[in-house]
């Protein structure tokens, strides 16, 4: 099961000055809960860059350069891959934000769910980019009727 949401609306940024937390500290706190990685895609070159944790989520070795797209796509569930690729093509044209859930291979021969959130931006150098995050969704979390909690013993 794959789900997409398109939106230009962004949640208002919280003012953190009065509690004196830095962006770095906030990202660190969020990342403590479970594996979350960050990414950027240059729409002109087609290059996509991932932080360490996305490589971990996808079971791929880390690289600071552009990701190996065929290798990354090979991890996506074959039923979900065409929809994911269509989504990115649509985003490049419509320049909107998005949210999606899809399945990728896990290390036990099955699949796990990931959630990706992305936004469009014009970078400081004028290039069009998408950027966002990927997080692993664990089986104890219920996600919009897609996954359910294990029955209580």
pLDDT digits (tens, 9 = 90+) for 44-85: 999 999 999 999 999 999 999 999 999 999 999 999 999 888
- Reported in sequence order, the residue ranges of 52-138 that DSSP labels E, i.e. its strands, are 97-105, 111-122, 128-137
* Average pLDDT over every residue of 103-108: 93
Q: Are 113 and 103 in contact (CB under 8 A)?
A: yes
Q: How far is CA 137 from the centre of its chain?
A: 11
- Coil, strand, or helix at residue 82? helix
pTM: 0.76
125: confidence class by pLDDT, cuts 50, 70, 90: very high
Most distant CA pair in the chain, distance: 57
Alpha carbon distance 143, 86 (integer Å): 23
Q: Are 104 and 114 in contact (CB under 8 A)?
A: yes
pLDDT at 32: 72
Q: How far is CA 115 from the centre of its chain?
A: 6
Alpha carbon distance 39, 18 (integer Å): 29
């Amino acid at each position: 099961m794959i789900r997409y949401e398109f939106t230009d609306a962004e949640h208002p940024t919280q003012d953190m000055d009065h509690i004196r937390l830095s962006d770095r500290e906030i990202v660190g706190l969020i990342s403590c809960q479970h594996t979350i990685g960050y990414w950027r895609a240059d729409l002109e070159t087609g290059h996509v860059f991932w932080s360490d944790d996305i490589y971990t989520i996808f079971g791929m070795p880390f690289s600071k350069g552009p990701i190996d797209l065929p290798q990354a796509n090979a991890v996506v569930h074959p039923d979900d891959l065409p929809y994911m690729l269509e989504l990115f093509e649509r985003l490049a044209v419509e320049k909107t934000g998005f949210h999606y859930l899809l399945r990728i291979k896990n290390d036990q021969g099955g699949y796990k769910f990931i959630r990706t959130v992305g936004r469009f931006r014009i970078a400081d150098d004028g290039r069009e980019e998408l950027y966002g995050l990927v997080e692993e969704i664990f089986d104890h979390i219920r996600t919009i009727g897609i996954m359910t909690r294990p029955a209580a013993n």
